[in-house]
Amino acid sequence: MSLLTVRQLVKRYGGLTATDHFDFDVQAGEIHAIIGPNGAGKSTLITQLAGEIRPDAGQILFNNQDITGERVEQRALRGIARSYQITSVFPEFSALQNVMLTVQAHQGHSFCFWTPTSRQPTLIEPAEHALERVGLKDRMHVPVADMAHGEQRQLELAMVLAGQPRLLLLDEPMAGMSQAESIQMTTLLHSLKGQYGIVLVEHDMDAVFKLADRITVLVYGRSIACGTPEQIRANPDVKAAYLGGDE
């Protein structure tokens, strides 16, 4: 069943069409990657899916319901979660405290940093669970400022998962990572496969080709191909436009 359906989406910036009659869908449990050269319109697309900017035309459906006009918070309530850069956390607080804040935001509970965490089980349990999912349970009491970049990106994912989403919008989760950190993140995302619909925008082609069930190739805001990693690798239009002749 289609979790997300995008029909003929258009976004213009003056004379530039950043999203050009774009069709796309994500099935439940599927990782659908979007790749394309710099400036192809990947970020513009993710921000429209998250509800941060409005398309000029077209439709976005979630579970067959039209959410095109809905704001970020309304989409979040439906279970659409975008990963944000780690700049939105409190660096002086621990990983656990940061994830607890996210849980609190979703549950609407009050939360005090000075109340012992043992007295806040409704926050601590889901937060610990999310940290465990991303392999950070042993590091949960470490202040975020003292964590490695790769760990901070894992934390970012834990904060997304803590909201119990159904669709994850992951915008360059490997950005700025070392090769070892990228491999670790790939393994982590692989472990989430089948449990969430995932839109993955990523420049790391090794990660994309390992993780994606399907790949859509975007060039000048337009989808030029959509298929399995094997189909995309073999597609002559994709080779010519993007991957290069030797891929």
Enter the tokens of residue 42.
């990947």
Q: Is the dihedral of CA 61, 63, 64, 70 positive or negative?
A: negative
Contact between 42 and ligand ATP per CB under 6 A? yes
Contact between 41 and ligand ATP per CB under 6 A? yes
Q: Count other C-beta atoms under 10 Å from residue 240's C-beta.
A: 11
Contact between 176 and ligand ATP per CB under 6 A? no
Q: Binding ligand ATP by CB under 6 A: which of 43, 85, 122, 228?
A: 43
Cβ proximity to ligand ATP, 18 vs 100, nearer residue = 18
Contact between 200 and ligand ATP per CB under 6 A? no
Contact between 39 and ligand ATP per CB under 6 A? yes
Contact between 173 and ligand ATP per CB under 6 A? no
Q: Is the dihedral of CA 230, 234, 238, 239 positive or negative?
A: positive
Whole-number Cα distances in Å, 133 to 41, 101, 130, 181, 190: 31, 17, 5, 16, 12
CB of 18 to ligand ATP, least distance (A): 4
Contact between 65 and ligand ATP per CB under 6 A? no
How far, in Å, CA of 2 to CA of 202, rounded?
22
Where along the sequence are the contacts to ligand ATP (CB under 6 A)?
13, 16, 18, 36, 38-44
